[in-house]
Chains A and B, each alone.
With several copies, the nearest count.
Chain A
Amino acid sequence: MSVSEKTVTRPANETPDQEELDKVIIRFVGDSGDGMQLAGTRFTDASAAFGNDLATFPSFPAEIRAPAGTVGGVSSFQVQIADFDILTPGDEPDVLVAMNPAGLISNLKDVRPNGTIVVNSEAFIERNLHRAGYEKNPLEDGSLDSYRIISAPMETLTKEAVKESGVTGREVLRSKNFFALGLMAWLFNRPMDPTTEWLEKKFSKRPDVLNANLAALKAGWNFGLTTDAAPTTYTVKPAKLEPGTYTNVTGNTAMAWGAIAAGQAAKLPVFYGTYPITPASDILHELSRHKNFGVKTFQAEDEIGGIGVAVGAAFTGHLSFTGTSGPGLALKSETISLALMTELPLIIINVQRGGPSTGLPTKPEQADLLFAIFGRHGEAPMPVLAAQSPSDAFDITIEAARIALKYMTPVIVLSDNSIATGSEPWNLPDVSTLPDISKPYQMGPNSGDEYLPYLRDPQTFARSWAIPGTPGLEHRIGGLEKQEVTGNVSYDPGNHQLMIDTRAWKIANIANDIPPVEIDGDPKAKLLVLGWGSTYGVIKGAVRRVQKRGLPVATAHLRHLNPFPANLGEIVHSYEKVLIPEMNMGQLRHLIRAEYLVPAIGYNKVSAEPFKVREIENRILELIES
């Protein structure tokens, strides 16, 4: 068996003992109904509680439940755990837990050479093999000889284990995933307490199900122990992370919490107007659970309604958000433009998924960047930010709110499916140290005894925010071009140019109010790898590997895509080569070329799968060597 970079040579049949690994990548695969997301999450949480660093990558079909046993219905969950600071869920699983032939056939190609495969042997029957597309049983035909196989009759053993629990019928086999989890817990010496506690909480009202799952979990562990399933078990020590209190958080949850935190940092009530869409819906779900924070969530009739109510709430003084994914962003375009013209603070979250059109709704992609930047009629510049990891989704949301309020502008925040549904450990901030991002309402006249809605702050060019209910400041805004200062409708040609210039300047000037790009690596290296969004982890991982070889590469990652940080031009000009890996056909590269006339090189992948660290590493090596 081979996990991590080490190779184990100990002969079989000896009493297993523990070997220490620095990291391991495990992928759970099975039918959508097999509970693999749950098994993976529990394994992850146990590892988190144990103190490992980790990163996860769940992947599931667009269908609610595709036909059982088919490749189309396979759901998977990959987690990397490590004793050091890792950044990605890893490229190639060391261990594949396959609950059925379809899961095996569709995932085997990713498993590292000589990796371990854990299978539910009872699923490898004629019908399932056929559905998955196997002609022969791979457990028997020798095709898996180069892997270490741990094979268990999980159904029989689960049935046996849960006999006393009280569950019957279909529910019996539902516990199968906990058997697999128990077996993995044994193999990796995971603590059982976190899982047990979670089960006790979750099924406090269904003691039968609780008992069944506990029994299956135990049975899995025992199966490992008693059958000597592997010659050795493994430990991955706790990581030496920054001191602090950690939680394991997905990007969608972090974004929802970020919205709540932004409301507190701005001392404003939070409003979220939206329409469900994969993979953004969980932000709505999470926010709607926290009404006791004063959060208002409004599930509208469609995306246009969703942003419409959010614009209304922004006008009325709320810290207002709308969230969606690609097709929904398309529908919101016209209303975003209204928010821009009326200069109201509004945060538009776009969780990118595979496009165009309905595309691949459950797959990650970074192909909405140019749409976010240019996706409005007329000259309509707007700030665009992007989260770089699940926990950064929290920070970037607060940053977006800061900009929206300070500059009185709509702001787009990009996330993507892998950030939204993936997770990582997050060193929890002390919320009492959140920045003050408040924008006080206008309470009285701002020019003699008059209120002029489009009078601007001389520094930021932001207009003031006078909300309905404030005596004396009654005013009207709208989508027609506004006269400077008064905000009245104006068809005057000179005024139009002035307002176009003003709006452009207001946004461009934000470049001076955001952190400069930081370079990781030698500022004099030959190659700069520039990234944005969810590729953060893979790029950093790849660059670190190359740096370890002593080769001249540096990296920088953008969280502000419009405007760019003020020092970006200088940076991209100071390297001989700039490589921009993106899960699109070269959108940031396009912007960098247009803005700085730098012949940046693209590395592009739009295949519904994130980059592997190795892919980027190889590309870097090629470029350094050429």
Chain B
Amino acid sequence: MTTLNYKRADFQSDQEVKWCPGCGDYTILASVQAYMAEMGVAREDVVFVSGIGCSSRFPYYMNTYGMHSIHGRAPAIASGVVTANPDLSVWVVTGDGDALSIGGNHLIHALRRNVNLKILLFNNQIYGLTKGQYSPTSEVGKTTKSTPLGSIDHPFNPVSLALGADASFVARTIDMDRKHTMEILRRAHEHEGTALIEIYQNCNVFNDKAFLALTGKDERVHNQIRMEDGEPIIFGPEGEKAVVIESGVARIVDTASVDPSDIHVHDSREVNPSMAFALSRISSHPDGPTPIGIFRDINRPVYDQEMARQIEAVTEKRGPGDLQTLIGSQGTWTVE
């Protein structure tokens, strides 16, 4: 590969960006384009696949290969892309409805197989494109167009769900925090296998301020629990809160009330997902202290690579297939 000398603009397509003014999607787009310039992958080797939703418009704005597919199917289509060519850098952009409602099955199967996909889940806790119905991440009691009396559906915790599906990489970030987003994108890219990144994204038209606890000037220092590998998990303006894990359950405590050595030291590389799962349960809704960062990042065999390897191995063993031999392989007779 020649040295790649990209600028962010190299990843901007010629299409006008069509989200509502103020939408969190703009910031994420900027972060992704900026990261792509740094990623070190040739633009032609990058593919963005999306489903349907506001967020799923994303590929149109990336000057890479891309497909704006159909609702919920992006993880499957993208699995086909990267299985066909494991050298590509394949990214999925999806929404909370697209990924977790109609596309839930493809998502959990991609995670389990560990196909080399980077999945950006724009979670705005609402259906944007269809103008404001509740989604599988909307809180119970939410009043929306389809739930005028309040929703009775218990929401998913996307991180827990992904860990339950044995995801090898799961992280969470916030649209407004471009630096953190780019850092997570980098780690996801470096990870081999499926990476799920939940991005809290503000839909200012249908679900404004859903993430205020994490983005508000005053609120965020109280509620963002930053997880950094090798660091004890401490948060709050003066670090006055900490996370401990006791008999399997993660809890928030006053830092002062515990022995510093009891504070949980984060390790996203831990192979057993139980710790990551426990951390994911600290918050099932981002209206209070909520972990941000990488929950899990472990290595296990990658589906598309395994498939290529299997083909290579058997071809080495048996030699490349010969079609004439194949069609005669079940026994033949000759008529003269």
A245-B81 CB under 8 A given contacts A291-B149, A299-B133, A469-B45:
no
B80 and A273 contact, CB distance less than 8 A? yes
Residue of B whose beta carbon sits closest to that of A312: B80
Chain A residues near B258: list those with CB within 8 A: none
Report chain B residues within 8 Å CB of A49.
331, 333
Asked if B73 is at the interface of the complex by the 8 Å CB criterion, the answer is yes
Distance in Å: Cβ of B154 to nearest Cβ of chain A:
13
- Which residues of chain B (85-103) have a CB below 8 Å from chain A? 85, 87-88, 101-102
Those of A33-70 within 8 Å (CB) of chain B: 45, 48-51, 63-68, 70
Q: In the bound complex, how far is the Cα of B134 from the Cα of A288, in angstroms?
A: 13
A313 touches B310 (CB 8 A): no
Is residue A484 contacting chain B, with contact meaning CB distance below 8 A? no
Q: In the complex the two chains form, is B145's CB within 8 Å of A299's CB?
A: no
Whether B130 and A67, one on each chain, are in contact in the complex, defined by CB atoms closer than 8 angstroms, is: no
Minimum CB distance partner of A423 in chain B:
B330
Interface size on B, residues (CB 8 A): 88
> Least Cβ distance of B206 to chain A in Å?
8
Among B41-71, those with CB < 8 Å from A are: 42-49, 52, 54, 57, 59-60, 62-71
Tell me if B321 is interfacial: C-beta within 8 Å of chain A: yes
- Decide yes or no: A301 and B68 within 8 Å by CB, A271-B80, A311-B80, A469-B85 being known contacts: no
Which residue of B47, B106, B128, B134 is within 8 Å of A305 (Cβ)? B106
- Kindly report which residue of chain B lies nearest to residue A277, judged by CB atoms: B130
- A595 CA / B77 CA spacing, docked (Å): 36
Q: How far is the CA of A114 from the CA of B307 in the complex (A)?
A: 57
How many angstroms between the C-alpha atoms of A295 and B153 in the bound complex? 17
Docked complex Cα distance between A496 and B198 (Å)? 36
Check if A276 sits within 8 Å of B127, measured CB to CB. Answer: yes
Measured in the bound complex, the distance between the Cα atoms of B104 and A304 in whole Å is 12
Give A72 to B314 CA distance when docked, in angstroms.
42
Provide the A309-325 mask, 1 if CB < 8 A to any CB of B, else 0: 11111111110100000
**Interface check B336, CB cutoff 8 A:** yes
B70 and A334 within 8 A (CB)? yes
Does residue A603 face the partner (Cβ distance < 8 Å to B)?
no
Residues of B within 8 A of A303 (CB): 102
Please, which residues of chain B bring their CB within 8 A of the CB of A472? Answer: 44
Asked if B76 and A309 make an inter-chain contact with CB atoms under 8 angstroms apart, the answer reads yes
Whole-angstrom CA separation of A240 from B17 in the bound complex: 50
Q: Does B187 contact A (CB under 8 A)?
A: no
Contact of A285 among B88, B145, B323, B335 (CB under 8 A): B145
6 nearest A-B pairs in the assembled complex, by CB-CB distance: A312-B80, A308-B76, A478-B68, A309-B80, A293-B321, A316-B84
Give 12 A-B pairs besides A249-B327, A308-B80 with Cβ atoms closer than 8 angstroms.
Answer: A244-B335, A245-B328, A246-B332, A247-B330, A277-B130, A293-B326, A302-B101, A302-B105, A309-B76, A429-B327, A474-B64, A474-B66
- 10 contacts across the A-B interface (CB closer than 8 A): A49-B333, A194-B331, A241-B335, A292-B320, A294-B321, A308-B80, A309-B83, A316-B80, A335-B73, A468-B65
Residue numbers of A with Cβ under 8 A of B are 45, 48-51, 63-68, 70, 72-73, 194, 198, 238-249, 253, 257, 260-261, 264, 269, 271, 273, 275-278, 281, 284-285, 288-305, 308-318, 320, 327, 334-335, 337-338, 342, 357-358, 394, 427-432, 468-480, 488-489
Q: Give B residues with C-beta under 8 Å from A.
A: 13, 15-21, 42-49, 52, 54, 57, 59-60, 62-73, 76-85, 87-88, 101-102, 104-106, 109, 127-131, 133-134, 136, 145-149, 153, 205, 307, 310-311, 314-315, 317-321, 323-324, 326-328, 330-336
